[in-house]
Amino acid sequence: MNASSFFNLCAYHVQEGLRDGLSHFSQPSRAALIYAETPTSDICIYDPQDLLRGHEPILEKFFIESQEWRTCSFIHSTLPSFDMRPCDSPSMTGIISYSAHCGSVFHQTWCTEQHPDLCSLSPTEHWLEHAAWVMSQAYEGKNTLLLDLAGTLLQGWSTHAVRNAIVDARTELIGMDTQLRIFPVLDAILAISKTLEEGEKPRGILCFIEPSALRHIHFLARLEHSERPAIHSHKHVRKLLQSVETSGHFLVSDGESIVGIAEHCPEGAASLRAEFCGTHGFLWLEDQLLCSFSDGSFHSSTRKANLVSLEELLIEAGLDSEEQHDLFSSVSQIVESTRERRHGCTLVLDFQEECVSFAGQRLEEPLLLSNPKLLQVARNLAEVDGALHIRKDNTLHGFGCLLDGAAVPAENRSRGARYNSALRFTAARPNIIVVVVSCDRPVSIIFGGVEMSAACPLPPSHSRSSTPHRMEDWLKHS
């Protein structure tokens, strides 16, 4: 097998492993590679799912019109095959990228999508960095039997990506002299999150602090040194979490055992905070949200509803900025409350001149949702079967409303009656937006009989038949 064919095979396996791993860590994702094998090689692109289509002007300016990315050729000649040096990446909206020079491959730029609900870019960036390293090692090894392993290494790399993000951030904060071991901490967090106590999933906060910083903490209660439960004693730690479920306090650990209960954490201690919320949880480094966790694995999602489509529709509805803000804020809070309580609901946003009349429980006086107390009433009424009827002036006019209408082509049998009724209702009535929250958390924005928030399925990855293209040729076919 010649060098070019072997490189293409390496790119396929690494790209597939990266794409699959990121799709489990985030939403369904694509990945692309831009590379030059040597300092004098043509710049090529491997993008089997057209991730970078639409970014041609930026790529042409960065890689074709400018040759600054080649200026590290003197460094490349001295790099060992196992070493890698980061370099500048093209900045593209909605794209996360990582570029590096390696001993075996002169230049690599790995790219993936920046999803709107990412907690932090850092774990994904470290994932791309690892893809560049795996690619260089796979190409250097020249062993086709090990290429499957290259892709497998990237598929299940979520815990490693989170760990690398934490280590780099903590090094910037407190330096490399640390006693807190991150892998055991992350393993303990995932194990505790799956441990039930009397049938209930864990709630509360567990804070991991550098042992040298413990003396700066004012403990409300401190355990005897000889009787502190180890963090790998998951059942014991889960029982102790019950003591801080609703108190606003948190358990403190030095990374090896539970030390006690405290109320405040010292600033600048590079503490890790695991916030258990029952079915899921969040991992924080100081005040920075790194990732979420659920079902025994880490994820990039903030777990908040994506209401971008609703924002766009509110702008088109002709409301002024204050009206848009008030209405969007009320809807967002009702949606989040519904998702956390894990029950479905429907919100009918009525923008017609005359208030729409349909079956439901009407209120004598509309509730102004900008009033926090009345908004709480609306959040509770969302639990009642039927839809909330909200006018464009941010007032609630009814609840328990029934939606009707004739059948429409966009109906989806895999979705429930709530979703399909909203499609029918909006298809027959102009200037109506319906927000549907399903019991299993998905949120749909429906307008004119069409789901505006629907995600188009990604094109299949025909990577086995796809081959890299010279950047100039790829640009000509844009």
What are the per-10-residue average pLDDT scores of the chain (478 residues)? 82 94 94 93 94 95 91 62 84 95 90 94 97 91 80 92 96 88 96 94 95 90 94 95 91 96 83 93 95 95 89 88 93 91 90 86 93 96 94 94 87 84 91 89 88 72 69 89
pLDDT per residue over 398-456, tens digit each? Answer: 999 999 888 888 888 778 888 899 999 999 888 999 999 988 768 999 999 998 876 66
DSSP 268-300: TS--EEEEEESSEEEEEETTEEEEEEETTEEE-
Which has the closest alpha carbon to 468: 26, 1, 21, 36? Answer: 36
CA distance 127 to 47: 18
The pLDDT of residue 463 is: 44
CA distance 469 to 454: 32
The one-letter amino acid code at 477 reads H
The pLDDT of residue 36 is: 94
Compute CA 434 distance to the chain's CA centroid, rounded to the nearest angstrom. Answer: 25
The pLDDT of residue 269 is: 80
Has domain 308-451 been given CATH number 3.40.1700.10? yes
DSSP 322-341: HHHHHHHHHHHHHHHHHHHH
CB contact at 8 A, 337 and 345: no
- What residue spans define the domains of the chain? 3-157+461-476, 179-269+271-299, 308-451
